[in-house]
Amino acid sequence: MTERPSVRLQDAWLDHLLPLVEDEGWTDHAFTISAREAGMSSDEMALAAPDGVSDLIERFFDRAEEEMLETLAAGELSALRTHERVAEGIKAWLGALAPHRAAVKRASARGFLPWHAPEAAKRTWKTADAIWTAAGDTATDYNRETKRGLLSAVLPPIVLYWLDEPEEADLDAYIETRLQGAMKFGQWGSKVAKPGLELLDRLRGRG
């Protein structure tokens, strides 16, 4: 499959941007300087990042998801239970982000600003979807949305915990605790939501 030119340009741009992010953050200044260092023309900049630095942040996390999928594909997950596969996905994703922890911290801080919150929410959902899909989830009903919504809720605190560079065993335990809490809430939520959704489906069928 031929890679889109914008993605190739984004990757080249990111290679020059990431070393600047630790000190400057995902700023317009770093964005401009790194483009110059990458030798990009104004047309190439427009193709790679029409929405500015947000496009490069998006690509940064996309690359981590791609690496996560490669890591999981090289492992053996079939013997694991579902929540264990999800946990492995989270750890593989964090492992892909680990060389650029400062960039993640800067992106997280940016996400807490009100005018960037919608972008952060969409990104978190996309990551949750990638992790669930890699774990083998094929649900197409309301369970799909519930699973991804619950994982989207626990990913931010997991990332914040991970940013403090905990010991691996402590991180594993924290992820396990968060996932167990999400599963319990999900089981309770399903009992409440399922009857109403089934009724709605029946009513739609009469229309």
The predicted structure's pLDDT at residue 90: 97
Clarify whether residues 115 and 79 are in a common domain: yes
The answer to whether 77 touches 102, Cβ cutoff 8 Å, is no
Clarify whether residues 87 and 100 are in a common domain: yes
Average pLDDT over residues 26-46: 96
Clarify whether residues 77 and 43 are in a common domain: no
The predicted structure's pLDDT at residue 104: 95
Average pLDDT over residues 61-65: 96
Clarify whether residues 130 and 83 are in a common domain: yes
Question: Tens of pLDDT along 126-152?
Answer: 999 999 999 988 887 778 888 888 898
The answer to whether 90 touches 131, Cβ cutoff 8 Å, is yes
Distance CA 49, CA 205 (A): 44
The predicted structure's pLDDT at residue 120: 86
* Three-state DSSP class for residue 79: coil
Clarify whether residues 57 and 3 are in a common domain: no
What rounded mean pLDDT belongs to the chain?
A: 85
Check whether 206 has a pLDDT greater than 50. Answer: no
Check whether 1 has a pLDDT greater than 90. Answer: no
* Three-state DSSP class for residue 184: helix
Range of the domain at 10: 1-50
Average pLDDT over residues 52-68: 95
Question: Tens of pLDDT along 149-173?
Answer: 889 889 999 999 999 999 999 999 9
Clarify whether residues 33 and 97 are in a common domain: no
The answer to whether 181 touches 154, Cβ cutoff 8 Å, is yes
Clarify whether residues 9 and 64 are in a common domain: no
Domain count, the chain: 2
